[in-house]
Amino acid sequence: MRVNISVNGESMAADDVWEGESLLYVLRERLGLPGAKNACEQGECGSCTVYLDGTPVCACLVAAGQAEGREVITVEGLASGGELDEVQRSFVEAGAVQCGFCTPGLIVQAHSLIESTPGVPADAEIREALAGNLCRCTGYEKILDAVRLAAVRKHQP
């Protein structure tokens, strides 16, 4: 089947998609967007988190056909005009990027939190928002620092 999706603001089509194929597979293998990572394929790690119609989802759990006619924003789509999004920039500056495998999902989830929270979220809110994203390299402190930094920058007058 053919799946038509708006990805990062651009209309795209994937051909020869089989019924059980995931959105993650379509994004990575058919559309050439490797940002969302394929780790657990069970929705447990959050490495494949993308926005689907404005809501963060694990792309490994979404059947590609369910994305027909919908809007997907990947970690690549957060950047604009060659400039990193504030959350992306903050992750780099705070040293929250280790091996990079979990980073795209964490960035999308942190972006969602910051966009939906007025002001700087409390640490407990950040931890709750990122609870579905696993990182095996860090103790999460630099990730928390990055989210705080991005939130402060976004909500500064």
Instruction: Identify the domain boundary among 22, 55, 77.
Output: 77
> The domain containing residue 37 runs over which residues?
3-77
Residue 96 is classified by DSSP as -
Q: What pLDDT score was predicted for residue 55?
A: 98
Strands 71-73 and 3-7, by their bridges, are parallel
- Rounded-to-integer distance, Cα 58 and Cα 26, Å: 13
- Rounded-to-integer distance, Cα 125 and Cα 9, Å: 29
**Residues with Cβ < 8 Å from 139, sequence gap 6 or more?**
none
Bridge partners of residue 51, in order along the sequence: 56, 73
Q: What pLDDT score was predicted for residue 27?
A: 98
Do 9 and 73 have their domain in common?
Answer: yes
pTM attached to this predicted model: 0.96
**Considering its fold, how many domains does the chain have in total?**
2
At residue 157, does pLDDT exceed 70? no
Amino acid at 90: S
